């Protein structure tokens, strides 16, 4: 590997050791597996490193076809907030800076079956004549100590990987060859989902916003709102019914109709008290954004506990939405990459109030797009993604259906609002006591 260091104050051996420790605290470099989302409709391409030359076959040959201009980078470090924001900033910079001749793929490095061992990054194939990506990556690494960059070179049927740090005087090269690896039993992103993309207790989400307090002032205001909520335990009260579904499936129309017909209280998640902060947190990377929405569910739970003592409660979205969108976003590629149906990642948080019934509204993609167009409202990034990315929509819908305890009851929302309301009333009468 080649190491380029910014200072001669440490010996080469000391510098290499420090860099490796910072990057790969979960295990040695050669014990890690690397994954590249080369084709969103297939498995990621997996490889490891070896000290001996390895012959590449098939997809690996295709991935490393132009090794003179191939690079990858990974974001490491112990500060999870800084790591998440750095990854988001790099993603934006690569998109804004690199030319059309540069292909950028999502990539990760992980220890098999080791939770929270995933380092997120990117794999870059530069087909330009100027090799702009190399200069961009050098600049990024000089600015960020938490960025590790690899370059790749080809030698016949073999390919090796080199690592470099911020550019300066010292240089040393030791080859680490690319070795094809078997596909992981589960998509690597699933190793980092728990209490990072999806939160399974309030304390974990609360800690994330505490860690953000110095860089995101709004975090303090959100935490203050959480602290002000009474920790009410729900007793024997009226039924709580959650209405879920993608945007423009008829949730608003149905929830309003149920409020009137059942003389119920209507609540929404996230609650209105968090509305002034949504735009701010929607612009943050997933770790921070998900923690914000998780806390919104706990505030909503407090409202549910109070209101269900007086009347039936209808809730427009709740934990299912938070989890389904988070899992679909975190897991790259095809629907088959989602956590298996029996995965604990679909389990309801033990400390979050459970509803009596969850209804998932569905319509055809064409009908949903038509309704969105008719509404003409601003959409979040994820809602906009649903319109143009059928694969993402399928993953969200499948994640909805896999959440357990309680699971969703699917309702076809294509008919008229009156027919949908009739269907729902029938389901409620059969399951809930009024």
pLDDT, tens digit (0-9, with 9 covering 90-100), for 250-300: 899 999 999 999 999 999 999 999 999 999 999 999 999 999 999 999 999
Going by the DSSP 8-state scheme, the letter that residue 430 receives in this structure is H
Measured CA to CA, the distance from residue 33 to residue 327 in angstroms comes to 22
Quote the crossing angle between the two packed helices 275-282 and 218-228, to the nearest 10°: 140
pLDDT over 70 (residue 110): yes
Question: What is the number of alpha carbons within 13 Å of residue 1 lying toward its C-beta?
Answer: 24
Higher pLDDT, 133 or 87: 87
Domains and CATH numbers, the chain: 12-191 (no CATH), 196-431 (3.40.50.300)
Which pLDDT score, from 0 to 100, does residue 329 have? 92
What is the predicted pLDDT for the residue at 363? 87
pLDDT digits (tens, 9 = 90+) for 181-221: 999 989 999 999 999 999 999 999 999 999 999 999 999 99
Q: Scanning the structure block, which residue is given the tokens 């993608």?
A: 246
Q: Which residues contact 131 (CB under 8 A, 6 or more apart)?
A: 69
pLDDT at 80: 95
State the pTM of this model: 0.86
Give the pLDDT score at 67: 62
* Cα–Cα distance, 3 to 277 (Å, whole number): 44
Q: CB–CB of 216/280 below 8 Å? A: yes
C-alpha–C-alpha distance, residues 54 and 256, integer Å: 63
Query: Tens digits of per-residue pLDDT, 293-330?
Result: 999 999 999 999 999 999 999 999 999 999 999 999 99
Give the C-alpha separation, 244 to 255, whole Å.
Answer: 10
pLDDT class for 13, splitting at 50, 70, 90? very low
Note the pLDDT tens digit of each residue in 145-166.
789 898 898 877 778 888 765 4
Q: What is the pLDDT of residue 3?
A: 31
Is pLDDT of 230 > 50?
Answer: yes
Q: Is the dihedral of CA 107, 211, 77, 183 positive or negative?
A: negative
Report yes or no: 53 and 167 within 8 Å, Cβ to Cβ. no
Please give the angle made by the CA atoms of 367, 373 and 377, to the nearest 5 degrees.
125
**270: Cβ contacts below 8 Å, ≥ 6 apart:** 278, 292, 293, 296, 297, 299, 300
pLDDT computed for residue 24 by the predictor: 47
Which run of H or of E encompasses 83?
Answer: helix 80-97
Task: Give the separation between CA 412 and CA 249, rounded to whole angstroms.
Answer: 9
Helix axes 286-307, 275-282, angle to 10 degrees: 160
Percent residues over pLDDT 90 in the chain:
59
Mean pLDDT, all residues of the chain: 85
For the chain, the first-to-last Cα distance in angstroms comes to 70
Write down the pLDDT at residue 174.
62
pLDDT score, position 237: 85
Nearest to 31, CA basis, from 44, 50, 17: 50
| Count of C-beta atoms within a 10 Å radius of residue 68 | 10
Instruction: Look up residue 167 and give its two tokens.
Output: 């550019």
What pLDDT is stored for residue 235 in this prediction?
66
- What's the CA gap between 145 and 248, in Å, rounded? 44
Helix (H) or strand (E) holding 361: strand 357-362
Residue 172's pLDDT is 45
Q: Residue 346: beta bridge partners?
A: none
Residue 69: per-residue pLDDT = 87
> Taking 60 as the threshold, does the pLDDT of residue 382 lie above it?
no
Q: What is the pLDDT of residue 240?
A: 96
Rounded mean pLDDT, 45-65: 87
């Amino acid at each position: 590997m080649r190491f380029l260091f910014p200072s001669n104050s440490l010996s080469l051996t000391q510098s290499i050791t420090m860099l490796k420790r910072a990057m790969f605290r979960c295990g040695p470099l050669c014990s890690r597996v690397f994954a590249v989302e080369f084709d969103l409709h297939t498995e990621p391409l997996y490889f490891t490193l070896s000290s001996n030359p390895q012959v590449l076959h098939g997809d690996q040959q295709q991935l490393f076809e132009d090794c003179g201009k191939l690079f990858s980078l990974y974001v490491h470090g112990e500060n999870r907030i800084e790591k998440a924001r750095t990854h988001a900033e790099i993603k934006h910079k690569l998109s804004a800076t690199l030319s059309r001749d540069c292909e950028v793929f999502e990539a990760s490095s992980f220890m098999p079956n080791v939770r929270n061992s995933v380092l997120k990054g990117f794999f870059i194939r530069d087909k330009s004549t100027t090799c702009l990506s190399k200069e961009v990556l050098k600049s990024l690494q000089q600015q960020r100590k938490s960025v590790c960059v690899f370059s790749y070179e080809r030698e016949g049927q073999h390919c090796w990987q080199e690592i470099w740090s911020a550019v300066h005087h010292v240089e040393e090269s030791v080859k680490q060859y690319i070795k094809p690896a078997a596909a992981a039993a589960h998509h690597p992103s699933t190793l980092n989902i728990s209490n990072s993309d999806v939160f399974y207790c309030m304390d974990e989400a609360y800690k994330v916003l505490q860690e953000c307090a110095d860089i995101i002032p709004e975090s303090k205001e959100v935490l203050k709102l959480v602290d002000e909520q009474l920790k009410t335990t729900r007793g024997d009260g009226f039924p709580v019914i959650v209405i879920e579904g993608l945007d423009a499936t008829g949730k608003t129309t149905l929830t309003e109709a149920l409020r009137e017909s059942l003389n119920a209280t209507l609540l929404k998640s996230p609650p209105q008290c968090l509305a002034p902060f949504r735009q701010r947190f929607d612009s943050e990377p997933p770790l921070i954004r998900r923690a914000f929405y998780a806390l919104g569910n706990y505030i909503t739970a407090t409202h549910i506990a109070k209101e269900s003592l007086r009347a039936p409660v209808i809730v427009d979205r709740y934990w299912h939405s938070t989890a389904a969108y988070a899992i679909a976003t975190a897991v790259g590629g095809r629907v088959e990459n989602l956590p298996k149906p029996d995965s604990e990642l679909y389990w309801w948080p033990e400390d979050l109030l459970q509803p009596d019934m969850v209804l998932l509204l569905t319509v055809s993609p064409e009908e949903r797009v038509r309704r969105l167009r008719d509404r003409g409202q601003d959409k979040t990034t994820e809602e906009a993604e649903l319109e143009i990315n059928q694969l993402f929509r399928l993953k969200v819908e499948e994640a909805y259906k896999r959440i357990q305890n309680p699971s969703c009851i699917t309702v076809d929302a294509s008919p008229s609002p009156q027919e949908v309301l009739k269907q729902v009333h029938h389901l409620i009468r059969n399951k809930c006591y009024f």
